[in-house]
Amino acid sequence: MTVTTTTHLNLPGTAREALEFYRDVFGGDVAITTYGELGMPADLPDAGRVVFGRLDSPSGFHVLAYDVPGASGTDAGGSTTRRDGLTFTDRPFFLSVSGETLEEVAGYWDGLAAGAAIIEPLAASAWSAGFGMLTDRFGVTWVLDVVTPAA
């Protein structure tokens, strides 16, 4: 038996924009179904918003997203603060992307960094040829790293 997990983002009215942005970063195809397509009257404010959204990338990256009914804004929740040189984030999750080479990871980093708050710049670390952390313009915190071969 194989189990697959896919992150599902609950966004405040920015799901379509986020999925299209992530498609630009990772490639692939976006599929979107709106509340209106499932029967919500067209004159209601959420009718054009995303109820089921999915990005599937040929590289194996997958993410789901939907617009929380009635929500608005651009932040997925939580906050990031720095204390004594350390970063603390109270978000309930991070999205982690690992690649085989620094070049591959740097390409994803460059795409996600547009409009992002950089928490840890992408750089070599004691455990990886490249590690970085940022919160993108949709309020999602990402950890990117180069996979280190097992000893």
Domain ranges of the chain: 7-67, 80-146
**Segments in the chain below pLDDT 70:** 1-3, 73-92, 150-151
* Burial label, 26 (beta-carbon count in 10 A; 0-12, 13-18, 19+): buried
pLDDT of residue 106: 97
CATH architecture of the domain covering 80-146: 2-Layer Sandwich (3.30)
**Residue 67 and residue 137: Cα distance in Å, rounded?**
16
Residue whose C-alpha is closest to residue 64's, from 30, 25, 26, 92: 30
Q: Model-level pTM?
A: 0.76
Domain 7-67, what architecture?
Answer: Roll (3.10)
